[in-house]
Amino acid sequence: MPDYHDDLRLAHVLADAADAVTMDRFKALDLKVETKPDMTPVSEADKAAEELIRGQLQRARPRDAILGEEYGVQGTGPRRWVVDPIDGTKNYVRGVPVWATLISLTEAGEGGYQPVVGVVSAPALGRRWWAAKGHGAFTGRSLTSASRLRVSRVSELSDASFAYSSLTGWEERGHLNGFLDLTREVWRTRAYGDFWPYMMVAEGSVDLCAEPELSLWDMAATAIVVTEAGGTFTGLDGRPGPHSGNAAASNGLLHEELLGYLNERH
């Protein structure tokens, strides 16, 4: 089994650097925010954090490729770092502390690039989660001060907590009725949004979560944290990993039921 410790340690260094940049501008009164062509916001902090991460990766891993939300793909090869400098930019620009920097190392494999290292750092929440393939998932302040993550053992929908981001995406896909049927079956629903529900699945405080439209940089880091914690991460089509343009994550025991409801059309 490959040892990804050096890559994981580098990802933590990158996350530390990004946290310093993003926290410095969080709630800044003069924060500059633009609208991208897809009508989503991007702040100066998004750009600065990604530029910093890219610069450090180019020095530390010059042979590796980089894919980032703000500046696209750079380089080629069997190893590619995937970066979302601020997942939850809408929260960030409004002063809501639920946002994170997502950093993942992916390697070329069957079905495309597969995540082998992931770090999710949410400095405004004072939280960080990480995982490396075959070595488990953890949360804590640092690599040396961490606790192991494990998904829940909830096996009945009526006992399950389901997290989601919003209703509009499900409606646009024509799957709102299935989504609503699921919310009626579970014990509890909460709209935490973005990276956070996946981390809650990994740590066992939430049992199911899903989003109807996502990009690879939204999912690469969260996918490996969930799976290394013993959970299941697929697209709505059931394809394992972060390659379907949407996501469903669970403790594994409820995954087929989750997909069944979310693929219902009425």
Residues of the binding site: 69, 84, 86-87, 218
Give the residue carrying structure tokens 């750092």.
121
Q: Which helix (H) or strand (E) holds 183?
A: helix 176-185
C-beta of residue 195 within 8 angstroms of C-beta of residue 88: yes
Closest by CA to 45, choosing from 28, 58, 57, is: 28
Q: Look up residue 87 and give its two tokens.
A: 């997942």
- Binding-site annotation: residue ranges for Mg(2+): 69, 84, 86-87, 218
Q: What share of the chain is helix, strand, coil (3-state, %, to 5)?
A: 35, 30, 35
C-beta of residue 225 within 8 angstroms of C-beta of residue 140: no
C-beta of residue 243 within 8 angstroms of C-beta of residue 199: no
C-beta of residue 156 within 8 angstroms of C-beta of residue 186: no
C-beta of residue 209 within 8 angstroms of C-beta of residue 195: no
DSSP string, 56-108: HHHHH-TTSEEEETTTEEE--SSEEEEEEEEETHHHHHHT-S--EEEEEEEEE
